Amino acid sequence: MLRDHQKHEFVGESLRILRLFHGMSQPEVAQRLSVTRQYLNKLEAAKDYPAEEFALALAEVFDVDVSYFYRSVGQEPGIDQIHFRKQRTAPQKFAHQAIAAITLFKKIIDFLEKYYEFPLPNFPDVIAKSAVEIEEAAELTRSYWGLPQNAPIGNLTDAVEANGGLVAYFKGVSEKVDALSTNEERPLIVRSTAIRSLYRQRFDIAHEIGHRVLHLGVDTGDKETEAEANRFASALLLPRHAFVNEFPRGHRIDWQKVFELKLRWKVSAKAIIRRAFDLGVINAIQYRTAHIHFSKTGQSKSEKLDDVGDSEVPTLLADALNDVSRDPVELGRFYEYTGLNSSSVEKLTGIKLPDIVSSQLSNIRFL
């Protein structure tokens, strides 16, 4: 049971993070609740505190237990503490939304790590700038993980989780956000459920692995670090020696063979063409011609065979949450610690947990 709360213990920062996660502006929330934006701003800045009725109304708007607002969700990571990959057209608000999601995820993970034994992180930490060094970093990662150097990675998500990383799929963030990951020893890689293609999912995850291997403690998001992570992802998924041997040579690109490679290596045709260009297997004219082909055949955004193959499903976080949910006492502690409820956990993670009646979770009196 939570202890009694006085109204001055309301945590404005927790409100702000939840609002951002829901993609709502202060004026939008204020309008929903028939108050001024200035009043909401005061609440978030801890310059004012809500009465009981208003706290309950906030809980209803955001579909959380009211107890959420009376505990800290932890420190929000700065933009320099995450690797954030979004489409260039994505408004800045989606960056704030994604960071808020990471903050809430970390609160969940903090609880689970106290009760659940995750695999130890096993990621190399490499300084690599040149193309050759990045190739070697990808090969080193395969070696760390006990993966063959010249064969496809059957399930990249399983490989990440077996080596101490956590992969999650957020439901509540815009499709304009492709992926993000945390800049710390145990990486949390979060992907958008809006990305359906297995081939894009795997490349995005490999890209985030690249940030963890190459850029631990480094600010990212600029063209240079993004290009390095892309090169790493290509090298991890399409090892150079095997790729050079398998890619068809000739003046004209053999598209049938390219799509056979797509299915074998579970990498998009565009990524295969880029890899061929980076390794000197095709020249600049062939590379440009290939992209004209993608455009003319309507494959600029989605490709043939994108619907072939099942998405990789992360299990580590789901297994831990399901273990917690089997014990009503532990589940109550989880909800109490995070301040979340079944609905908000599902919105964040896509994982449905049993409900706990609000009166079982908190005993809040407003004095």
User: What are the distances in angstroms from CA 5 to CA 61, 69, 70, 137, 346?
Assistant: 21, 10, 7, 52, 27
Q: pTM of the full predicted structure?
A: 0.87
Grouping H, G, I as helix, E, B as strand and the rest as coil, residue 188 is strand
Provide the angle, in degrees to the nearest 10, between the axes of the packed helices 328-338 and 316-325: 120
Find the length of the chain.
367
Is the C-alpha dihedral spanning 249, 254, 260, 266 positive or negative?
A: positive
Q: What is the pLDDT of residues 43-81, one digit of tens each?
A: 999 999 998 899 999 999 998 888 899 988 887 776 666
Which residues have a Cβ under 8 Å from the Cβ of 362 and sit 6 or more positions away? 1, 2, 65, 66, 67, 336
Distance CA 97, CA 110 (A): 20
Q: What is the pLDDT of residues 262-311, one digit of tens each?
A: 999 999 999 999 999 999 999 999 999 999 999 999 998 899 999 999 88
Examine the pLDDT at 3 and tell me if it is beyond 50: no
CA 143: distance to chain centroid? 25
Kindly write down the DSSP assignment for every residue of 306-327, as one continuous string: TTSSPPP---HHHHHHHHHHTS
C-alpha Rg value of the chain to the nearest Å: 23
Is the C-alpha dihedral spanning 32, 36, 37, 43 positive or negative?
A: negative
Give the number of C-alpha atoms closer than 13 A to the C-alpha of residue 305, restricted to the C-beta side. 17
Closest CA to 157 of 149, 169, 148: 169
Grouping H, G, I as helix, E, B as strand and the rest as coil, residue 22 is coil
| DSSP conformational letter for 76 | P
Two structure tokens written together for 235: 């090298």
- Residue 6: what pLDDT? 59
Distance CA 275, CA 302 (A): 18
Ramachandran angles phi, psi of 26, nearest 5° = -60, -45
Q: What is the pLDDT of residues 218-274, one digit of tens each?
A: 888 788 999 999 999 999 999 999 999 999 998 899 999 999 999 999 999 999 999
Q: Could you tell me the domains of the chain? A: 1-73+360-367 (1.10.260.40), 79-220 (no CATH), 240-296 (no CATH)
pLDDT (average), residues 149-168: 96
The helix (H) or strand (E) run that includes residue 113 is helix 92-115
Kindly write down the DSSP assignment for every residue of 198-255, as one continuous string: HHHHHHHHHHHHHHHHH-TT----SHHHHHHHHHHHHHHHS-HHHHHHHSPPSSS--H
pLDDT (average), residues 335-362: 79
Q: Report the amino acid identity of residue 122.
A: N
Q: What is the pLDDT of residues 298-338, one digit of tens each?
A: 998 899 999 999 889 999 999 999 999 999 999 999 998 88
Phi-psi group of 84: left, alpha or beta (phi > 0 → left; psi -120 to 50 → alpha; rest → beta) = beta
| DSSP conformational letter for 366 | -
- Residue 176: what pLDDT? 61
Examine the pLDDT at 366 and tell me if it is beyond 90: no
Which residues have a Cβ under 8 Å from the Cβ of 244 and sit 6 or more positions away? 279, 281
Q: Report the amino acid identity of residue 171.
A: K
Is the C-alpha dihedral spanning 249, 252, 256, 261 positive or negative?
A: positive
Closest CA to 188 of 162, 168, 171: 168
Closest CA to 81 of 228, 187, 213, 178: 187
Mean pLDDT of the chain: 88
